[in-house]
Amino acid sequence: MRLFSLLLIIGLLNFSGFSQTPQKEKAKLVVGIVVDQMRNDYIDRFWDRYSEDGFKRLVNEGYRFKNGHFNYVPTYTGPGHASIFSGTSPMNHGIIGNNWFDKTTGESVYCAGDPEIESVGTTDEAGKMSPHRMIVTSIADENRLATQMRGKTIGIALKDRGAILPAGHTANAAYWFHGKDEGRWISSSFYMNALPNWVVTFNNSGKAASYFKTWDTLYPIETYVESGSDQNNFEGGFKGKESATFPYDLQKLKADNGNFELLKAVAYGNDLTTDFAMAAINGEKLGQGTDTDFLTLSYSSTDYVGHNFGVNSKEIQDTYLRLDKNIADFLRFLDEKVGKDQYIVFLTADHAGVEVPAYLESVKIPAGYFDSKDFKTKVEDFVGKEYGDENLVQNISNNQVFFNYQLLNEKKIEAAELEGKLAAFILAQDKIHRVYTRDQIVKGAFTKGVEEMIKNGFNHKRSGDLIYILEPAVISYSRTGSTHGSAYVYDTHVPMLFYGKGVRKGNTARRSEIVDIAPTIANMLDISFPNGTTGKPLYWMLEE
């Protein structure tokens, strides 16, 4: 009788839910912000000039990882966005560059290009895009699966790849900005057959055209002591203006600089992106349902400005001071529309950027430029003399050399032999730092340093047969402006900020990696990790 009574009590307790794990309240909205080409030191360099409500709010009220890095090479936009949201590196997700040589077709392919897809919102081919080349899920995909597709996902960026890859394969929509003479936010038939009304309304509002105004510094330029001089020899500038100096009359410059394309390359492109993101939250009612929604938001103008003017320019400083205001406005908007304690924001970058080598040379720091065309000619000449056929090398791109295996087989040449001879030749060339063969990468058990980064960025099916690393601060680029792509710290060290529901306040200098972001968000939402995940949750910043 006592045993029966005890079992009855246990059964009643189980039925009433006392033994069940309580379900925590999840965030209504996750916003993943990627700032294209943002160096970690921009937070500290411009700190005193930021408002209290933008970057400072994220840092002071959230959690900052001061030592966040990419764990692979190459550090480009496509691989960066894919890695952040998939929780893994190119070795698994397959996005090995913005463009790469396709060994199957013998042609270069674009990371988001899809010839089977139609443009939506324009007759231009700029809309023929999809995430089909990314072979894993994103964290946004996993949220869609976990909510039985009830939770929405919207991806937004001026760049198509910045909108498409983070949003994943199941997104309700991804939108990117088509410039030229149209100035419209567009999409593709991968997501929809026609733009929704709220997008049409935004495109017809004249908002984009309103930014054809004068771009001058937000504050007196003489107070911008955190950046270099406005007049120098290390900046590109715009067609139609003799000097790369403030102010810039965009109305006058637009005809010579691609019309609406110009907006992407100035600070106001971030304003336009913020405007559209707010319209998306209203139009799609993100964060208003019972299931968690996702907004992936990439600020692309920072990259265009950095490429043109360099990481030490007055233009880049002004762009970040204005972006700070964009973020402050957006956070206030989220407070009002979603609720201050009802959303999660993380902010990071898809890569950082190098100081302009010509500037570094001017202050006696080792740096320089690498002539890729000359290098290609030397490699082909060497192979031609050694083997009688320069076509044994089928392609050289993204610091990789691809062999022509059909020709190797016909001539009965072992790939390992060509690897060895060509690696030795390339290593002897000026400004080459290291060379790795496919055999070394595939068989090597690399767990640290550049070797590990190369392995993490090496996709067995898509990558080449030799990979070469240039010396520090040596780039294949113009002598004006900055670029990125290397395994060096100036390209890998990026901000990692978390803010909102379930995030502790604090910071750490311990090393963290970009692939840790997606599993951290999955942990916060109690959903599955993206299916290619190699990162680990950043558990020490999570509230218990």
Chain centroid to CA 491: how far? 12
Residue 486: HSE in the Cβ half-sphere, 13 Å Cα cutoff: 22
Sort strands 400-403 and 393-397 into parallel, antiparallel or unpaired: antiparallel
Length of the chain: 544
What 3-state class would DSSP assign to 266? coil
Give, as one character, the DSSP assignment of residue 46: T
What 3-state class would DSSP assign to 109? strand
CB atoms within 10 A of CB 30: 27
The Cα–Cα gap between 12 and 105 comes to 65
Q: 493 is written with which tokens?
A: 């060290």
Q: Which residue, 268, 256, 251, is CA-closest to 304?
A: 268
Q: 484 is written with which tokens?
A: 């990125």
**Is 348 a catalytic site residue?**
no
Q: 88 is written with which tokens?
A: 């893994």
Contacts of 234 (CB under 8 A, 6+ apart): 228, 310, 312, 313, 356, 358, 359, 479, 480, 481
Choose, from 77, 217, 274, 520, the residue flagged as catalytic.
Answer: 77
What 3-state class would DSSP assign to 147? coil
Distances (CA, A) of 497 to 59, 505, 514: 7, 11, 11
Asked if 258 and 180 touch (Cβ cutoff 8 Å), the reply is: yes
Give, as one character, the DSSP assignment of residue 126: G
Contacts of 295 (CB under 8 A, 6+ apart): 29, 30, 31, 32, 153, 154, 155, 156, 277, 280, 281, 286
Q: Note the helical H segments in 338-463.
A: 357-362, 372-387, 405-410, 415-427, 438-443, 449-456
Dihedral Cα 107, 112, 118, 124, nearest 10 deg: -80
Asked if 530 and 86 touch (Cβ cutoff 8 Å), the reply is: yes
CB atoms within 10 A of CB 452: 17
Q: Which residue, 30, 38, 31, 32, is CA-closest to 349?
A: 38
Q: Which residue, 318, 316, 296, is CA-closest to 306?
A: 316
Radius of gyration (C-alpha) of the chain in whole angstroms: 25
> For 350, left (φ over 0), alpha (ψ -120 to 50), or beta?
alpha
Task: Give the residue numbers marked as catalytic.
Answer: 77
